[in-house]
Amino acid sequence: MAPTREVHEGHQTYDIGRIATVFGFEKNGMHFPSHVEITTSRSTVVPGATEGALREATLRRVTQDYSRFEFFSARSRAGIIRFVDGEGPLFAPPATEP
């Protein structure tokens, strides 16, 4: 005998949020997003249905695309004073692995 599904008695609605992110840019070992899509949908369980009991409607879709990243560095007051006094570089060289 084939398995049967329960008949849905009530009308149930669920709002569902989904976020999909594409990390398409890498700098200094860190990954940054290049595309984000945020979708809010409403899923409804149809009363009495055994086949196709779930209906889904998109309420809102927002997409964000990122490009032209600009990176800034922060320096301490002590580091700037050392540079001005000629005691070291303004930018520290990147660390190298042994």
Do residues 54 and 44 touch, judged by C-beta distance below 8 A?
yes
The 8-class DSSP code of residue 82 comes to H
How far is the C-alpha of 73 from the C-alpha of 54, rounded, in Å? Answer: 51
| Segment 58-79 mean pLDDT | 86
**Half-sphere exposure in the Cβ direction for 15 (13 Å, CA):** 3
Give a yes or no: residue 49 inside a domain: yes
HSE value, Cβ hemisphere, 13 Å, CA-based, for 82: 11
pLDDT band at residue 70 under the 50/70/90 scheme: confident
Is residue 23 a part of any domain in this protein? yes
Query: How many independent structural domains does the chain possess?
Result: 1
Instruction: Give a yes or no: residue 96 inside a domain.
Output: no
Does residue 73 belong to any structural domain of this protein?
A: yes
In a domain, 45, yes or no: yes
At residue 1, the pLDDT reads 55
Confidence at residue 33, expressed as pLDDT on a 0 to 100 scale: 94
Confidence at residue 93, expressed as pLDDT on a 0 to 100 scale: 59
In a domain, 94, yes or no: no
pLDDT-derived band of residue 27, with 50, 70 and 90 as boundaries?
confident
Domain that holds residue 34: 12-84
For residue 19, pLDDT over 80 is answered with yes
